[in-house]
Structure 1
Amino acid sequence: MSNRQSVATGRSYSPLRDPDGGASGGRIVTRGLKRSQIGMSEEMIQTYGESIFEMSHNIQVRRGDAVRELDWEQIEATRADRGMSDAELARQFGLTQDQVTYIRTIMERRKFKRHNYHRLYDLGGGRRFRSDRFIPHAERFEFRAEAIELRKSLDFDPRIASKHLRLGNWNGDTVTDWLDKWSKETPDAIAAIGDGEEITFAQIRENALRLANSLLELGIRKGDVVAIQLPNQIEFMTVYFAVCMMGGVLSTMHMPYRVGEMEPLLKHGSARAVICAPAADSYNAAAAMLDMCTRVETLEHVIVASGSAPDGTLSLPQLIEEGTKDQIENPPVASDPVILCFTSGTSSAPKAVVHNYQTMLANNRIAEPIYNMTRDDIVLGGPPFTHAFGICVLNLTLMVGAASLLMPAFTPPKMLELVESGKPTVIFVAPAHVAACLKAGLLDSGNLSSLRIATISGSACPPEIAYALEKAMPNGSVGQMWGMTECFMGLHTPFDGPAHIRCESLGGSTPTFEARIIDDKGSVVAEGEEGALEIRGCSIIAGYYNNDEANRTAFTGDGWFRTGDLACRDTGGLVRITGREKDLINRGGIKINPTDIEAVIDNHPAVLMSAIAPVQDDVLGERACVFIQLQSEAPVTLEEICDWLRKNDVAKMKWPERLEIVGQMPMTPTRKIIKSALTPG
């Protein structure tokens, strides 16, 4: 039997044979179901097998004979020692009972070298076979091959999975569980406020349920990928909740993306449907999506979020209106994939991030005490929902039953107007959001009195930006958070800490996370020294989907994720991001980190924002070029910029040697400058 290698860790293992079939998905498995009907992959057996075996009835410690004597108190007190049933394990691990039974069967055969009568596992305990309750195997649900392939990216190291399951970092929660909770406990509470419209938890749940059933009627199955390109609006939330309800995987497409960017991503994820905005003057999304249907083999449905639906497309409001309120028969469990996001990479090898409910929602649970949010809060999220940061904020808001105040697109006046009219108590923003408002003079004139906490994240934040925001918040405090699509929130400052900690650092690791800073040789650097930031914790993905090269580069053999950020840690354990490894400029063998230089240039009165990037040089290898977006029409010269740096005590060796003025800086959805898009004229 040949060995295989795991997606992310590179571990070699021998495929376990099904009792009645081959390793590739035997003909007969648990109760006669195929792997594709259970939603099972070899990677899932490797991830959960040992934990299920150890926590099941296979290993028991018995004291006395409480069961025979019907000593119920003793039975309950010794339940853990007697092992857990498949149903109990399914609830704890976020798996279906069929998946647990299947994995346990395989593990028992492996450990005990015996053939198990898995067809009879549902009997016993006085139960008898009833033909009228039996569903022929051929009529049962079956995952598509693409869905099974996607699940392989959830190939967690068994040691990591066992740790987070035993500590309770991973549990059985799903997004639908949280939505159901608040639609029952506070049905009339406001779930979202957007574009002059409010919707309650009960209303958005009903709309999502109707849409979920309509998606199933269209032939979209559990495990299928549904793409979306919408701004932060109620329709996005409805689609997100609906896809979660029916067990789909939501793949987010950023609003600036067009066909050239989206087509390879839709192909990579094997998307079955896409939801988009109606046609606008500058972009006809529906026409673009229909055009891609001819080239993306799996793409079958284009759904328009509002307005009239052109020929060949479907109307989202109509799907919601015509959908039934039937209970979803085969809902997802916590180990199922839920979102597919793309971070970078090339069109031929995208870096696709797949999170299941365990990694995605664990981050919200462990971080919630830092924010101390309640259902009385109103939360304004600056990052778009098409980015993992935006989804993270949305989930955190849902978890506590608070209201989401929606900002479809950012401009400084729009954000300040929304804060003043919507009166949010919690806000999440990027440094560029705050800097733009500060440059426009809106922080001094705006009313931010409703805010009690503000989180800055998305890129390295100059301290003066954080201090300026806190100064504008008479009743609140500013904190910082570091995160990535691959792990969500990994570093935090405490909101009740001193201002210098909150505004000048990222604090320390989020609970259950670990962070280390290493040098080129892999050794941990001394305090105060710069190095590469690595992190591990309960929310880090197992590996990129279908990108072995990226996995080899990003993940270590002992569970650490290489973030690509440069950082240093002071004697108090506070972490500060100092730049990106790929942004370093190698000028004649001297590596220059542009982050601090950019922060100084950004303070120049003529500069709205700046970015320093390398340009090739025949003599030195690379030289520094500064790209500047001006605050107004007033020009600025390279000599003036260098003189400004001299006055701010920046060493001459770090000064840029070329200047390029740009009309509009290329930005990511989280307001980070895309340096790769900057090229000298």
Structure 2
Amino acid sequence: MSIESLGNVLRELCIDVGQVTADTRLRADLGLDSVETTELELELDRRFGLKIDLWDTTDYSLAELAARVEGPQPADLPVDEHRVPLEIPRVPPDRARRYREAGWWRAQPLDTLLLRHGHRDPGKCALVAGDRRLSYGQLLTMVDRVARRLRTLGIGRGDTVVVQLPNSIEFVILVLALIRIGAPPMLTPSTLREYELDRILGLTSPVAIAVPGRTRRSDHLSMIQQMRSRHPYLTRLLVADGAGEEGADVTFLAELCEPGQDPVFPRAEVEHGCEDAADPTDVALFLLSSGTTGPPKVMARTHEDYGYIVRSTSDVAAVDADTVYLAVMPATHTFVLAYPGIMGTLAAGGTVILGGVEDPRRVLELISRERVTHAAAVPGLVTQWVDVLRTEHYDVSSLAVLQVGGARLDAVAAERAKTALSCVVQQVYGMSEGLANFTRLDDPDAVTFESQGRPASPGDEIMIVDEDEKPVPAGDVGQLLTRGPSTVAGYYRDTAATGRAFTQGGFYRTGDLVRLRPDGNLEIAGRIKNLINRGGEKISAEELEELTGELPQVAAAGAAPMPHPMYGEAVCLFVVATGEARPELHDIRRYLQMRGLARYKLPERLELIDTMPLIGVGKLDRSALRERAVTLAQADSASSARAGR
């Protein structure tokens, strides 16, 4: 452990260390008081598993303390030997035992499941990105090599690394390498900015973050550099590309993932099987909640529970070694990562095609050129693809399964997609918290077009309840509660949010209103939570209202979903002004961006009103706002139709 890293630990405890040196002593130089001494003992135990009595007669120097943290390890001992398991919410032992006895949770590391074809079929193509192709043998070699290189950078078991990258071969390699060494990646959409990242970094205390290089529209590296003073544990920056970037703490992913051995990483030679196998109960990766209001919530997924999600969803999507899966939506979302997604395809020995969603014609070209069999999309993307196919020809005859999720796909759109793409449409309704519902590939159109399917796992329990959390009569609409081998037990380092979202019995309150059909499939009827679903990205109305309310010219703000032809919903912001100075939409958007809010959360329409509609004892009448937003959108559509005549 470096002296500077130990200094960062002290700074996190708000201990003024100034310029630290190896000879700096805890009492003589830093003057630690009793509270600070105790806090340091606890932090060294929590973070490094070092139990040390700092109250004895020894006044440790930082060099001596760093040596105690490292312990008497040989030069080639992996750094992760001295890390402690992360403390996460756990499923009660009786249910965990039942899941294991049923064979749902298995004692198999997630990376082993995903990389096993590197030995079985090393020449088979695993990943495609543009003109680049990587075989399973090459993927296994690169993951092992990058795992060792990460260790030379001081990243090891028990550390966390935020991964905020677009779809790429480097993304896949880095995620698998981090899982392999027991340093869980915190998967974070590249669209998030400072406001959301501050909370994520604070919750997970990552030692490194992987970000895209600078582009015309974004500069993640500069953003992170500015945030580091608030997050001193962040000691390493992994950058996708960065011509001209310099710094001892900056590592380029292109170099990290470069084939072959090089002098920068002298320990990169691979010997298969040399890595210590993970405990299946260890954290494999961290995900963000897909359906909660307010600030981001973090969830820990273990090797055994996430491996089960990969296997169970692969079964219902008929993914096998012949599958060619198209991943154009962000792979930081579970839908694309593991429903069955990239991970399911790799576990089955299929081929993953990596791309982006920017151009529907480019997507259709990929389907044609790579003979894609499976693809995943939100309804807005499906509509784009279908619209292009109305006037242009692309050979999409290889496509067998189109998974649609992130938002409800209506029956008319589902039928159009099936006709235009000549494939099975599989509706997917799930959440990062765990439950995954699918229509089945052999379901009749009446089920596929009009429902959101049924659980992929026979172990998933669902309840549909009223406002008092009592079961509703069969066929009635109520809130969906769920628990099972796919569902987490709570949020990471957030007991308050866990208490709100989970019942005493371990059921997750989804906030979605559903109806259970006689055939066992679910229909989504609405939601309790104040979320706006913009193309599968969830936007908290309360968060947006709170930030908008910081503006001096805003007396009150209310956000509501407004129908959108491409994204399904967009943000309509209602504002009561404080006086004669009336805020403009561009002013509000500029302020929210300045506050570090992700761009997809910005309002797309502003309506100034005299008073907010209220109900009861002053509660915002959200139904009235939603109805007004719908009316405004309908009026716009009618006006556009008249103008087009």
8 Å contact kept, 1:427–1:455: yes
- Cα gap change, 1:356 to 1:370, in 2 (>3 Å): same
- Correspondences of 1:343-492 after superposition (within 5 Å): 343=289, 350-392=296-338, 393-440=341-388, 445-474=393-422, 476-487=423-434, 489-492=435-438
Shift of 1:160: 1.4
Q: Structure 1 residue aligned with 2:133, among 198, 204, 222?
A: 198
Shift of 1:383: 2.9
The equivalent residue for 1:516 is: 463
Deviations 1:516-543 (A, max 9, x none): 2111122221233211011122111121
Shift of 1:515: 1.8
Q: Structure 1 residue aligned with 2:270, among 319, 322, 325?
A: 325
- Correspondences of 1:523-562 after superposition (within 5 Å): 523-562=470-509
The equivalent residue for 1:224 is: 159
| Residue 554 (structure 2) pairs with residue 617 (structure 1) | no
8 Å contact kept, 1:165–1:171: yes
- Cα gap change, 1:559 to 1:346, in 2 (>3 Å): closer
Shift of 1:347: 12
Q: Structure 2 residue aligned with 1:335, among 273, 281, 292?
A: 281
Name the SS of the counterpart of 1:173 in structure 2: coil
The equivalent residue for 1:499 is: 445
Shift of 1:293: 2.8
Q: Distance in 1 between matches of 2:567 and 2:49?
A: 55
The equivalent residue for 1:673 is: none
The equivalent residue for 2:525 is: 578
Shift of 1:337: 0.5
Shift of 1:609: 4.7
8 Å contact kept, 1:530–1:567: yes
Shift of 1:300: 0.6
Q: Distance in 2 between matches of 1:545 and 1:612?
A: 29
Deviations 1:548-592 (A, max 9, x none): 11111111122311111111112222211112212499xxxxxxx
- Cα gap change, 1:275 to 1:602, in 2 (>3 Å): closer
Shift of 1:628: 8.4
Deviations 1:460-496 (A, max 9, x none): 111112111111233x211111111110x52111101
Deviations 1:647-678 (A, max 9, x none): xxxxxxxxxxxxxxxxxxxxxxxxxxxxxxxx
Q: Distance in 2 between matches of 1:567 and 1:642?
A: 31
Name the SS of the counterpart of 1:294 in structure 2: helix
Shift of 1:353: 0.9
- Cα gap change, 1:431 to 1:348, in 2 (>3 Å): closer
Q: Distance in 2 between matches of 1:570 and 1:610?
A: 26
Name the SS of the counterpart of 2:230 in structure 1: coil
| Residue 170 (structure 2) pairs with residue 170 (structure 1) | no
The equivalent residue for 2:87 is: 152
Shift of 1:440: 5.0
Q: Distance in 1 between matches of 2:392 and 2:446?
A: 21
Q: Distance in 1 between matches of 2:482 and 2:468?
A: 17
- Cα gap change, 1:610 to 1:305, in 2 (>3 Å): closer
Name the SS of the counterpart of 1:262 in structure 2: helix
Name the SS of the counterpart of 2:163 in structure 1: strand
- Cα gap change, 1:519 to 1:295, in 2 (>3 Å): same
Shift of 1:368: 2.4
| Residue 236 (structure 2) pairs with residue 284 (structure 1) | no
Letter of the 2:225 partner, please give it.
L
- Cα gap change, 1:619 to 1:559, in 2 (>3 Å): closer
The equivalent residue for 1:16 is: none
Name the SS of the counterpart of 1:435 in structure 2: helix
Deviations 1:212-270 (A, max 9, x none): 10111111111211111211111101101111111110012212122333233122211
Name the SS of the counterpart of 2:488 in structure 1: coil
Q: Distance in 2 between matches of 1:172 and 1:307?
A: 40
Name the SS of the counterpart of 2:173 in structure 1: helix
Q: Distance in 2 between matches of 1:627 and 1:211?
A: 53
Deviations 1:413-467 (A, max 9, x none): 2222222222200111111211233355558744321111111111111111211
Deviations 1:584-633 (A, max 9, x none): 99xxxxxxxx99xx7xx667xxx87545868563466532357989xxxx
Where in structure 2 are there 5+ consecutive unaligned residues? 1-37, 52-69, 259-264, 533-559, 575-610, 641-645
Could you tell which deviates more after superposition, 427-436 or 286-295? 286-295
Deviations 1:55-76 (A, max 9, x none): xxxxxxxxxxxxxxxxxxxxxx
Percentage identity across paired residues of the two chains: 24
Letter of the 2:454 partner, please give it.
G
Q: Distance in 2 between matches of 1:237 and 1:536?
A: 29
- Cα gap change, 1:549 to 1:619, in 2 (>3 Å): closer
8 Å contact kept, 2:212–2:221: yes
Q: Distance in 1 between matches of 2:571 and 2:211?
A: 35
- Cα gap change, 1:282 to 1:584, in 2 (>3 Å): closer
8 Å contact kept, 1:566–1:579: yes
TM normalised by structure 1 equals 0.66
- Cα gap change, 1:637 to 1:230, in 2 (>3 Å): closer
- Correspondences of 1:294-313 after superposition (within 5 Å): 294-306=229-241, 308=243, 310-312=245-247, 313=250
Q: Distance in 2 between matches of 1:514 and 1:421?
A: 41
Q: Distance in 2 between matches of 1:571 and 1:347?
A: 31
Letter of the 2:124 partner, please give it.
A
Q: Distance in 1 between matches of 2:325 and 2:405?
A: 15
- Cα gap change, 1:141 to 1:417, in 2 (>3 Å): closer
- Cα gap change, 1:443 to 1:225, in 2 (>3 Å): farther
- Cα gap change, 1:329 to 1:383, in 2 (>3 Å): same
Q: Distance in 2 between matches of 1:296 and 1:348?
A: 22
Name the SS of the counterpart of 1:405 in structure 2: strand
Name the SS of the counterpart of 2:191 in structure 1: coil
Q: Distance in 1 between matches of 2:570 and 2:222?
A: 35
TM normalised by structure 2 equals 0.70
Q: Distance in 1 between matches of 2:484 and 2:353?
A: 30
Where in structure 1 are there 5+ consecutive unaligned residues? 1-23, 28-33, 41-135, 586-593, 630-635, 645-681
Q: Size of the alignment, in residue pairs? A: 495
Q: Distance in 1 between matches of 2:404 and 2:291?
A: 26
- Cα gap change, 1:382 to 1:360, in 2 (>3 Å): same
Q: Distance in 2 between matches of 1:190 and 1:39?
A: 44
Q: Distance in 2 between matches of 1:354 and 1:294?
A: 26
- Cα gap change, 1:290 to 1:419, in 2 (>3 Å): same
Q: Distance in 2 between matches of 1:358 and 1:610?
A: 36
Could you tell which deviates more after superposition, 564-573 or 341-350? 341-350
Q: Distance in 1 between matches of 2:193 and 2:236?
A: 18
Shift of 1:161: 0.8
